[in-house]
């Protein structure tokens, strides 16, 4: 058995100096004085099987987008006017949040589950992207498995002054719309009943917390934030995958 190594005085002094320098650097960084930006590398994708279904990017030009949507409607089962809204939102949010990678197929998945693309109850989207009859969720009064959310907007959006209701084809509650509402079609109005506006707002919401929707863990987390149910996530993914498959 060898004997333990014993440091000489010079080595001990060098070690003390190195430790002191390390402590000073930690204190400077903690105080925000070091001026060093530390890049944090993300780890492996925890659930790659939930990655956003792949599809070609939507056309950026409005005329090309409408032509593309008309051709894609029969294969996807998604109304052309809804496809225009989802594609427009993809383009708009990519300009704002390029690292999010949100695709029109995810928005189509949400729209299919939330309101059958604005057709819930037998209504349909008009040329402006609005359901002919307003789409409203039930009162959020704590019954039927719903949360209780007392009125937050004086009934301005949902017409209910007692409880909140989800509004429009992507079913925003008024308090969430207040944070993420958008004017997706540039008409000067932010309206959750307008699918152009709602699709941009939904995309922004999904992209929160620096999510990259091309990663399965981020995509799943984003859809869970929309509705905290794994069954809901699976339904949205099936709808999104079907839309993507329809345009391959």
**Residue 85 — pLDDT band, cuts 50, 70, 90?**
very high
Helix axes of 216-226 and 104-115: crossing angle, nearest 10 degrees: 30
Q: What tokens were used for 99?
A: 């690292």
Residue 34: per-residue pLDDT? 42
Cα–Cα distance between 107 and 222 in angstroms, integer?
A: 12
What distance in Å separates the CA atoms of residue 198 and residue 78, rounded to the nearest whole number? 16
pLDDT exceeds 80 at position 15? no
Q: What is the pTM of this model?
A: 0.83
Q: How confident is the model at residue 57 (pLDDT cuts 50, 70, 90)?
A: confident
pLDDT band at 41 (very low <50, low <70, confident <90, very high): low
Q: What is the pLDDT of residue 194?
A: 98
Torsion over CA: 110, 201, 229, 212 (sign): positive
pLDDT digits (tens, 9 = 90+) for 207-230: 999 999 999 999 999 999 999 999
pLDDT at 28 > cutoff 60 = no
Length of the chain, in residues: 248
Short-list 49, 48, 51, 58, CA closest to 247:
58
Distances (CA, A) of 24 to 37, 39, 75, 240: 17, 21, 63, 52
Residue that wins the pLDDT comparison between 22 and 89: 89
Q: Measured between alpha carbons, how far is 204 from 181 in angstroms, rounded to an integer?
A: 9
pLDDT above 60: residue 19: no
What token pair was written down for 176? 């969430």
Q: 196 near 184, Cβ under 8 Å? A: yes
pLDDT value, residue 21: 43
Kindly tell me if the per-residue pLDDT of 6 is higher than 70. Answer: no
In angstroms, how far is the first alpha carbon of the chain from the final one?
70
- Calculate mean pLDDT across residues 116-124: 96
């Amino acid at each position: 058995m060898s004997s333990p190594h014993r440091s000489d005085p010079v080595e001990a002094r060098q070690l003390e100096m190195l430790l002191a320098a390390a402590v000073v650097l930690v204190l400077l960084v903690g105080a925000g004085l070091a001026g060093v930006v530390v890049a944090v590398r993300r780890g492996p994708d925890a659930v790659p099987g939930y990655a956003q279904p792949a599809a070609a990017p939507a056309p950026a030009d409005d005329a090309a987008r409408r032509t593309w949507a008309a051709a894609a409607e029969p294969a996807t089962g998604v109304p052309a006017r809804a496809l225009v809204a989802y594609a427009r939102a993809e383009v708009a949010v990519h300009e704002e949040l390029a690292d999010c990678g949100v695709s029109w197929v995810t928005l189509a998945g949400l729209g299919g589950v939330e309101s059958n693309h604005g057709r819930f109850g037998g209504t349909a989207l008009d040329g402006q992207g609005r359901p002919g009859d307003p789409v409203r969720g039930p009162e959020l009064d704590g019954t039927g498995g719903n949360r209780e959310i007392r009125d937050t907007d004086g009934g301005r959006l949902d017409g209910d002054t007692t409880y909140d209701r989800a509004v429009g084809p992507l079913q925003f509650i008024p308090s969430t719309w207040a944070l993420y509402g958008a004017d997706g079609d540039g008409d000067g109005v932010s309206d959750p009943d307008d699918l152009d506006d709602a699709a941009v707002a939904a995309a922004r919401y999904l992209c929160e917390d620096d999510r990259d929707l091309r990663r399965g863990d981020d995509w799943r987390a984003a859809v869970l934030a929309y509705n905290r149910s794994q069954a809901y996530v699976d339904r949205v993914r099936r709808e999104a995958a079907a839309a993507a498959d329809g345009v391959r």
